[in-house]
């Protein structure tokens, strides 16, 4: 797995489009929100800013990049060649997506640290970490499922848009309006419960046990994504 991951990491730094998606876009959006934190804190809260930052990185950096990577490796038959080695399927997929996962987690950590430095620290760091990790796992699962519907890296620019824009829109809706109204709908939508969990972790004022229950919908989406990935993912290009 590690040799696959190291090889993939080298490929990422050679690919300008992936670098822009993984680094430039998430950092630019996050810098804007942090720079204007007073404005956005009034619209929502500091927890809302943290949630938007998290989903921007996880959607455009982690999710979109993983779909592009897997589509590219399928198209050039690299996936097929890897399956002829001693590495198992899970090991191959883990090695291919591990670099973008690590990059995304480092980015989220660094950006939230900057947000905490220029504003105030989160109320519950372990809860925030749990929210970030659960979101990352969900986005990886959705990435594997979407990769099964994506024929090429160019096609990934189209197939990833609904999820990328959808989770950011849900995060904005929940982060700004809260979950007093349409509670069940907001929590069941992908990203809704994770946003509420980040807001609670950063702002405080909610019992930890109540917040931990918000992990359930996100983990349910992980199961849904894994099921879809098992059905849709392909190792060879369509003939």
Q: What pLDDT, on a 0 to 100 scale, did the predictor assign at position 14?
A: 73
User: Which ranges of the chain would DSSP assign to H, the alpha helix?
Assistant: 2-14, 16-19, 25-35, 37-43, 46-56, 64-75, 78-83, 89-118, 125-147, 153-159, 161-177, 183-188, 192-203, 208-212, 215-232
Closest among 69, 73, 70, 94 to 17, alpha carbons compared:
69
Residue 71 CA, chain-centre distance (Å), reads: 18
Sequence ranges of the domains in the chain: 2-232
180 burial (CB, 10 Å; 0-12 / 13-18 / 19+) is exposed
User: What local confidence, expressed as pLDDT, does residue 206 receive?
Assistant: 81
Distance between first and last Cα of the chain = 29
> Which residue reads 């003939």 in tokens?
239
pLDDT tens, per residue, the chain with 239 residues: 777 878 777 777 776 666 676 677 778 888 888 877 777 788 888 999 999 999 999 998 899 989 988 998 888 888 888 888 877 888 889 988 999 999 999 999 999 999 999 888 899 999 999 999 999 999 999 999 999 888 888 888 899 999 999 999 999 999 999 888 898 999 999 999 999 999 999 998 788 888 888 899 989 998 998 898 888 888 888 66
DSSP string, 167-207: HHHHHHHHHHH-SSSSHHHHHHSTTHHHHHHHHHHHH--S-
- Residue 21 is predicted with a pLDDT of 67
């Amino acid at each position: 797995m590690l040799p696959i991951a190291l090889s993939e990491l080298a490929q990422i730094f050679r690919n300008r489009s992936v670098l822009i998606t993984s680094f430039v876009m998430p950092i630019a959006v996050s810098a804007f929100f942090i720079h204007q934190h007073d404005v956005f804190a009034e619209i929502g809260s500091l927890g809302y800013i943290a949630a938007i930052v998290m989903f921007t990185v996880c959607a455009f950096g982690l999710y979109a990049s993983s779909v592009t990577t897997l589509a590219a490796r399928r198209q050039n038959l690299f996936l097929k060649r890897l399956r002829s080695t001693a590495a198992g399927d899970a090991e191959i997929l883990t090695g291919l997506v591990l670099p973008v996962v690590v990059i995304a987690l480092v980015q989220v950590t660094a950006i939230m640290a900057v947000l905490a430095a220029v504003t105030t620290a989160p109320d519950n760091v372990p809860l925030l970490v749990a929210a970030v990790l659960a979101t990352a796992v969900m986005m990886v699962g959705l990435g594997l499922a979407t990769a099964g519907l994506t024929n090429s890296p160019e096609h990934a620019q189209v197939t990833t848009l609904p999820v990328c824009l959808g989770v950011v829109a849900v995060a904005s809706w929940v982060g700004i309006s809260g979950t007093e109204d349409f509670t069940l709908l907001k929590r069941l939508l992908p990203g809704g419960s994770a946003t509420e969990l980040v807001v609670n972790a950063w702002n405080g004022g909610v019992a930890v046990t109540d917040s931990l229950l918000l992990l359930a919908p996100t983990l349910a989406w992980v199961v849904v994504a894994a099921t879809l990935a098992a059905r849709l993912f392909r190792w060879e290009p369509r003939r």
